[in-house]
Amino acid sequence: MPLVALLLLTSGCEKFLDRKPLDASSSTNFLSNTEEMELGLNGVYGAAFWQFPNNTPLLFAVEASTDLAIKRGGNAEDQVALGNAGPFLVNNALVNTCWSNAFRLIQRANQQLKGMENGKANVPAATYDRIKAETLVLRAWAYFHLLYMFGDVPFYKAPPTVEEILSAKRMPVAQVVAELYKDLDESVVGFDNARAAAVLANGRVNKGVALGIKAKLALLIKDWRTAATATKAVIDGGNYGLNPSYPNLFLLAGQQANVNREIMFNQAYPTDLLDPQNWGPILGVPRQVTNSQSSHFPSQALIDRYESRDGLRIDQSPVYDPANPRLNRDSRLRWTIYMPGDTMVYNTLKTPSLPYVQPKERTIFNIHSNTRFRFNWTTNRFDAVTGNNDWIGAQASGIQWQVSATGNIGGVGYVWRKYIDSTQFIWEIKTGYILMRYADILLTYAEAKTELNEVDASVLTAVNAVRARVGQPAVTTTAQAAMRQIIRRERVVEFAGEGLRLFDLRRWDIYGEANSGPIVGAAFNPAVAPATPTFSANEVPNYSNSINERIRFRNQTRANADPRYKLWPIPQFEVDANPTGMPQNPGWQ
């Protein structure tokens, strides 16, 4: 049987061909006027809507493979995070999904670009330039993620034939970046020619996103000057700013208002249809709350990256109290994470269920006793209700389903608050998942300038704008090493849960250090405060001085020091189909 026919009959290659359809005739014949080109562009955007699994934003799932988060034990994200302690296997579902989704987007974009050529004479030049610009940006978005996740990849600028697929070779990262620079420069001109708005519409890419992706690609190859130039163009353009309310960025109403146009690109969810929903938020609702589904949790390593209110790291701050770690901290901590003692508010049922659901439910987050503290809407006070699946003693009592905020395949004492919107039913959240915002532009500019050792007033202005929004003291240092660490810490706490961490760890070459060590959490006994962790030169916390005082039901130790974890493995179905042109990444053979 011919190889191509055999590939079509195999399940592995169905995945392979699904992400690279071979017949582009429909698109090349179809895109003959403005309406058809717009419909085709909608299809490209549809391929940029990445989810895993079900309704979980894919990049939120990727975040759980890093040091900032924990997915429940046994899931693909958890296996990736564990590294050598896994089983992190070549055909991990998270890894394969990232690869397949990115190439599906690339193929859709290439079909769009090829098909548009037929109808160019029938479409106003400004419209054609804008549609092409959006398509080029979306294709670059897909390649950006492939490059930092997998390294060298095949580079297609047109729909490939069967022969081209089976003979494709991996192009070095720097060469792909050089090609994408050209595409993104062309898209910037296209947006300008079309006089496109700074933000075209919710969920659409724009000129600012094009420059932002170019800067990210430049960071990947340490082309600091290009990164600084691209982000400065966004800053100097004056089209974007910071929303004065950090929490509003993660609420539907706040995103719809988009004050100062901080949100530049997001994965938008339709508000006029039931499906799809954003199930990222529901994965953080703890088991002590009605109608809950906790399975994605913040880590202790994330909690301890937040400064104290005096602007100092917790091991340096006189106002940090290990016995009350939620107090006197950077406001982003309480806006991002629910810690024990916080009052949580959720919309858990569509209709009231008095006395505790109206339909909002207010619960004081408790992990240290078999009690739920539930607000009684009839008496307007909190009741102590026996029975708490998140209690650290529940497992020993045999009443705990393991996926709780403290379970042995669950969390370590914390749950997500970011993206929790009590104005929406928790199982039908329509809040968009942010993919790029102006704060990222500012911190990327500051990072590029710092790596150039050009820490000047513009760098301080960029960093302090992000800090001032949340009430953190301004920084004044112009020392390169000190500013580098400040920027890295800012990126952790500013973007936690937003899917940027893997890219940061990879390009800083600290993934192995940051994502290795025991999984620990909050104080096991609230009367015994765990010692404050020490921090490495890369600001990685070390818990050897407090491991016995902290929750450690998972009894896991991540191990990612092996150099192979600097990249993910190429999906095996790709290697099998083209072993010569698609060799496996080092260490994964």
Per-residue pLDDT of 310-365, as tens digits, reads: 999 999 999 999 999 999 999 999 999 999 999 999 999 999 999 999 999 999 99
Query: Residue holding tokens 């085709």?
Result: 40
- Of 111, 143, 170, which marks where a domain is finished? 170
Q: DSSP character for 499?
A: S
| pLDDT for residue 18 | 39
Q: Is the peptide bond before 247 cis (omega within 30 degrees of 0)?
A: no
CATH number at residue 540: 1.25.40
Distances (CA, A) of 461 to 468, 469, 474: 10, 12, 9
With respect to residue 165, please indicate whether it lies within any of the assigned structural domains: yes
Longest dimension (CA), the chain: 75
How far, in Å, CA of 217 to CA of 328, rounded? Answer: 37
Query: Which residues fall within 8 angstroms of residue 254, CB to CB, at 6 or more apart?
Result: 243, 245, 247, 248
H or E element in which residue 416 lies:
strand 415-416
Core vs surface per residue 151-188: b (16+ CB within 10 A) or e: bbbbbbeebbeeeebbebebbebeebbeebbebbeebb
Of 397, 356, 395, give the one whose Cα is nearest residue 375.
Answer: 356
With respect to residue 267, please indicate whether it lies within any of the assigned structural domains: no
Query: Which residues fall within 8 angstroms of residue 138, CB to CB, at 6 or more apart?
Result: 44, 45, 47, 48, 105, 109, 205
Beta-bridge partner residues of 376: 381
Which is it for the CA torsion 305, 309, 313, 317, positive or negative? negative
| pLDDT for residue 411 | 95
The reported pTM is 0.94
Distances (CA, A) of 515 to 24, 560, 563: 42, 6, 13
Domain of 149 in residue numbering reads as 1-170
Q: Which residues in the chain come in under a pLDDT of 70?
A: 1-29, 396-401
Q: Are 362 and 375 in contact (CB under 8 A)?
A: yes
CA 310 to chain centre: 28
Query: Which residues fall within 8 angstroms of residue 575, CB to CB, at 6 or more apart?
Result: 582, 583, 584
Distances (CA, A) of 154 to 121, 133, 150, 168, 530: 32, 22, 11, 6, 49
- Of 148, 170, 192, which marks where a domain is finished? 170
How far, in Å, CA of 25 to CA of 34, rounded? Answer: 18
C-alpha gyration radius of the chain: 24
| pLDDT for residue 403 | 84
Count how many Cα atoms sit within 13 Å of the Cα of residue 403 in the half-sphere of its side chain: 15
Q: Are 467 and 442 in contact (CB under 8 A)?
A: no
Q: Is the peptide bond before 355 cis (omega within 30 degrees of 0)?
A: yes
Q: Are 403 and 267 in contact (CB under 8 A)?
A: no
Number of domains the chain is built from:
2
Which is it for the CA torsion 393, 397, 398, 400, positive or negative? negative
The tokens for 45 are: 């955007």
| pLDDT for residue 49 | 97
| pLDDT for residue 9 | 32
With respect to residue 327, please indicate whether it lies within any of the assigned structural domains: no
With respect to residue 557, please indicate whether it lies within any of the assigned structural domains: yes
DSSP reduced 3-state for 246: coil
How far, in Å, CA of 560 to CA of 509, rounded? Answer: 12
235-272 pLDDT tens trace: 999 999 999 999 999 999 999 999 999 999 999 999 99
With respect to residue 226, please indicate whether it lies within any of the assigned structural domains: no
| pLDDT for residue 21 | 40
DSSP reduced 3-state for 456: coil
For 336, counting Cβ atoms within 10 Å of its Cβ (0-12 exposed, 13-18 middle, 19+ buried), the class is buried
With respect to residue 580, please indicate whether it lies within any of the assigned structural domains: no
Q: Are 509 and 536 in contact (CB under 8 A)?
A: no
The CA angle 43-46-47, to the nearest 5 degrees, is: 95
Core vs surface per residue 375-397: b (16+ CB within 10 A) or e: bebeeeeeeeeeebbbbbebbee
Of 235, 240, 234, 232, give the one whose Cα is nearest residue 261.
Answer: 240
How far, in Å, CA of 25 to CA of 9, rounded? Answer: 22
With respect to residue 392, please indicate whether it lies within any of the assigned structural domains: no
Tally DSSP H helices, then E strands, for the chain.
21, 14
Q: Are 62 and 502 in contact (CB under 8 A)?
A: yes
| pLDDT for residue 182 | 98
The tokens for 236 are: 């100097």
With respect to residue 301, please indicate whether it lies within any of the assigned structural domains: no
| pLDDT for residue 398 | 61
